[in-house]
A = this chain, B = another copy of it.
Amino acid sequence: MFDFQLLGTDGAARAGVYRTPHGEIETPVFMPVGTQATVKAVSPRDLRDLDASIVLANTYHLYLRPGDELIAEQGGLHAFMGWDGPILTDSGGFQVFSLAERRQVDADGVTFRSHLDGSEHRFTPEVSIGIQENLGADVIVCFDECAPADDYDYNVEAMDRTHAWAERCKEAKTRDDQALFGIIQGGVYPDLRRESARFLTGLGFDGYAIGGLSVGETKVQMHETLEIVTPILPADQPRYLMGVGTPRDLVECVARGVDMFDCVLPTRTARTGAALTRLGRINMRNAQYAEDPRPIEPGCDCYACANFSRAYVRHLATRNEILGHQLLSIHNLHLMVTIARELREAVLAGRFPAYREAFWAARRAAKSDQ
């Protein structure tokens, strides 16, 4: 039911295809985030139109509202949100450790209060897997603890819990139509990351997520961590870097052997009136775009760029019109999906280094233009 095929490599960069019960995912891939079972401001048909192939949904949020049992009764997440392509759910771990209130961690799990209404809840590995089985995503992940990047002792503790919980998640899983990814933790500490990657690959999962990055460490630390972790991972399984990132993160992390990405950045920045482009972020509310007849990003063929000017998008953004959120979200997601596809094509053609160099050269040229 699941099959990852590595179709080509160029240095550490990889191109593959991941078969899931709801369709094929060509990798590298960027996954739009649908926290509440909706990619904010983007309908499923718009997601298809911008060539998204898989979306992510958040276990913590959906467990609280509307409830995973309700979603199961409605036929699962695919039917509920009207998306018949592949879906990945996270474990709820990240939100429990960042968003929930008054959390108490013990060896067995975490007790916490909802950030919505203060009600008390408890997540254990078994609870997280049970919720994810109710949601019914194609890819589910182990319940983990993400520790602050700069506290070694806490990272040891959190990693050990994450490992024990990973064993229990693997044990708890009952559905054959879901792949389970282990999550590698260990902060910015090479020895811990190495240990975590070895432990989890020793246990054996359908794929490997790399957690605890993009949470405050530097880009250099992120890249060094990837360079330590990805060589340990089996070549014939997918690797997913959680919560990353920007256009340049895609380029630099694919260069270090990552296949899958997700991030709220494209849709979140869209709702602040900002556009992502290959050359950097632009604030579409800026007065300089008021009479600019060009599309958001010249050369882009997304629905927003094919049909509307910066002047119009700037008008929508300054008036806080919903269509502004829609168009910027579509553009920003389309850019991420497109860059992932271009990276794939570059790997398959054996010209990944040239693509990477051209990407950075264009940014340097744009900066020196200013």
Contacts and interface: CB of A to CB of B under 8 A. Distances in A.
Contacts of A66: 290, 311, 314-315, 318
Contact of A65 (B40, B303, B318): B318
A66 B309 CA distance: 13
Interface string A255-285: 0000000000000000000000000000000
A45 interface: yes
Contacts of A315: 36-37, 65-66, 80
Interface string A77-108: 00011100000000000000000000000000
Interface string A26-58: 000000000011111111110000000000000
Contacts of A318: 65-66
B291 A38 contact: no
Contacts of A316: 36, 38
- Can you tell how many copies of this chain the complex includes? 2
Contacts of A39: 323
A73 interface: yes
Interface string A275-303: 00000000000000011010000000001
A82 B326 contact: no
A65 B325 contact: no
A110 B234 CA distance: 75
A119 interface: no
Contact of A70 (B44, B70, B311, B322): B311
B291 A70 contact: yes
B38 A74 contact: no
A63 B322 CA distance: 20
A312 interface: yes
Contacts of A75: 293
Given A37-B312, A80-B312, A312-B80, A326 B319 contact: no
Contact of A322 (B40, B73, B303): B40
Given A303-B45, A315-B37, A74 B323 contact: no
A15 to B, nearest CB: 32
A321 interface: yes
A71 to B, nearest CB: 9
Contacts of A321: 36, 38, 40
19 contacts: A38-B322, A38-B323, A40-B321, A40-B323, A41-B323, A43-B323, A45-B303, A65-B315, A65-B319, A70-B290, A70-B291, A74-B291, A74-B309, A74-B312, A80-B311, A80-B315, A81-B312, A82-B312, A322-B325
Interface of A: 36-45, 65-66, 70, 73-75, 80-82, 290-291, 293, 303, 307-309, 311-312, 314-316, 318-319, 321-323, 325-327
Given A38-B321, A74-B312, 19 more contacts: A37-B315, A38-B322, A38-B323, A39-B323, A41-B322, A42-B323, A43-B303, A43-B323, A66-B290, A66-B311, A66-B315, A66-B318, A70-B291, A74-B311, A80-B315, A81-B312, A82-B308, A322-B326, A326-B326
